[in-house]
Amino acid sequence: MEIERLDLAAQLVRIQLIQRQLDARFKATGHKNVSMPLLIPESLMLKEADHVEGFAPEVAWVTQCGGEQLAERLVIRPTSETIFCAMYAKWVNSWRDLPMKYNQWCSVIRWEKSTRPFLRTSEFLWQEGHTIHATAEEAQEETLLMLDVYREVSEVELAIPVLVGRKTDKEKFAGARATYSMEAMMQDGKALQTGTTHNFGDNFAKAFDIQYLSKEGRLAYVHETSWGVSTRLIGAIIMTHGDERGLKLPPRIAPIQAVIVPVAAHKGGVTERCEEIQAMLQTLGIRVKLDNRDTVSPGYKFNDWELKGVPVRIEIGPRDLEKGQCVVFRRDTYEKQNLSLDGLGEALPALLEDIQQNMYAAAERFRDERVLVARGMEELEAAAASGFAKAMWCGDAACEERIKAELNVTSRNMPFDQSPVGEHCVCCGKKADRVIYFAKAY
């Protein structure tokens, strides 16, 4: 129960820190936050054929409101392309109105038969970016720019290395011309798709009649993108970094970066000194907590904070104070060291950054060791048993389907670096010119 309660609050703090990182970058790249309606009339959902086909099976319908049956059903947004498009059509007149670059932080509903915490839930918190542009080139630039923003946040802030690339037509978003993804490897070797960006071209613009008057005075359709990441990122953190002692949070997004545990707190001066050190570290901008509970032992606290993933523990007892030092434990390597209390304000930020880098390096090493080149179905199966397969693919969806049917392995994405790792399709053996990753996936 303690964990359940902690999670309820701490998960939000955690996503708030991740949110802050993402939101700052969205704003720096010229996007504005907006809030669009939760409920979308069925007629809007029906306008783009691929989109409705993709989402219709998994939406929640509102049919009764204020005691009355509705004449037209409303869908709880599974994603908001259709409502943005309905508004774009009203807002856009001339090339001067473009680009429009919006983002919203909200929750969406996709009715799932089987759910899994953080990875697949019927309601999930996410952000969805929606933009329209005058040209196809600009829309493509935006699609790749936001993919790179996602990659950067994942790698720099969450310490999760990702493989970025383009999805196959089979795996792309309903209604998109092209979908790009980032894919992380979990500790069981399975892939987790942690973010996607989509280029819709003028698909939706045609369905919703979103036209603008160009500089040259001609009517033209806008080009559209969307992109999203969700609370799935929290799942990725848990499954990338966690170990047998519990969570292991990267310092940059850890709600508590260091916890101070007094040892023999009743002894003269220990609590007071701990409070001083907490205050000193707080003025340095470190998110520090003093655990002064008197109902549990220091040993209990050690386990408790390791379980909760706090990157650094600072133990301070009467003997330490005599020597002017403290014991510092790092969650990532379990190493303990004595540090001088006078130098703690300088040492701790460096230590936190070292932990961040070390966590990234460990995850990258793990991932790199488990990406294997596969030249046929047997090698593909073997690679996917422990990680990702990097392979050549002929481009035929039939091969993707056979791989999925026989091995329960799916295509992840096609990297931007297309240096060949062979000449023949991993499945059918025909001439192939596409490099692609395959894996078992969540």
Site for a second copy, rule CB under 8 A: 1, 4-5, 8-9, 12-13, 16, 32-35, 37-39, 56-67, 73-74, 76, 87, 90-91, 93, 96-97, 100, 102, 106-107, 109, 111-113, 123, 125, 295
To a second copy, the closest distance from the beta carbon of 246 in angstroms equals: 20
Instruction: Give yes or no for a contact between 28 and 149, defined as CB atoms under 8 angstroms apart.
Output: no
- Contacting residues for 216 by C-beta, under 8 A, at least 6 apart: none
Cβ contact 183:202 at 8 Å: no
Q: Report in angstroms how near the CB of residue 91 gets to a second copy at its nearest.
A: 5
Closest to a second copy by CB, 122 vs 340, is: 122
CB of 65 to a second copy, least distance (A): 4
* Residue 57 or 285 having the CB closest to a second copy: 57
The radius of gyration computed from the CA coordinates of the chain, to the nearest angstrom, equals 25
Ordered DSSP codes for 85-146: HHHHHHH--BGGG--EEEEEEEEEE---SS-BTTTB-SEEEEEEEEEEESSHHHHHHHHHHH
Work out how close the CB of 255 gets to a second copy at its nearest, in angstroms, rounded to a whole number.
10
CB 426 within 8 A of CB 376: yes
| Nearest distance from C-beta of residue 312 to a second copy, angstroms | 22
Nearer residue to a second copy within complex by CB, 8 or 350 = 8
CB of 293 to a second copy, least distance (A): 10
Per DSSP bridges, beta strands 191-201 and 178-185 are: antiparallel
Dig out the tokens for 235 from the structure. 């799942």
Nearer to a second copy, 112 or 379 (CB): 112
* Distance in Å, CB of 314 to a second copy, minimum: 24
Residues 6 or more apart from 57 whose CB is under 8 A from it? none
Rounded Cα–Cα distance for residues 192 and 372 (Å): 17
Nearer to a second copy by C-beta: 130 or 241?
130
Instruction: List the one residue out of 229, 225, 101 whose CA is nearest residue 154.
Output: 229
Q: In sequence order, what are the beta bridge partners of 178?
A: 199
The alpha carbon of residue 48 and the mean position of all alpha carbons in its chain are separated, in whole angstroms, by: 27
**Smaller CB distance to a second copy: residue 304 or 332?**
304
Choice between 23 and 152, CB closer to a second copy: 23
Q: Do residues 168 and 397 lie in contact, with contact meaning Cβ atoms separated by under 8 Å? A: yes
Half-sphere exposure (Cβ direction) of 415: Cα atoms closer than 13 Å: 17
Q: Which is nearer to a second copy, 234 or 328 (CB)?
A: 234
Those residues with Cβ within 8 angstroms of residue 141's Cβ, 6 or more apart along the chain or in another chain: none
Considering the complex, what minimum distance in angstroms separates the CB of residue 9 from a second copy?
4
17 vs 327 by CB, closer to a second copy: 17
- Residue 412, CA atoms < 13 Å, CB-side half-sphere: 31
The nearest distance, CB 257 to a second copy, in angstroms, is 17
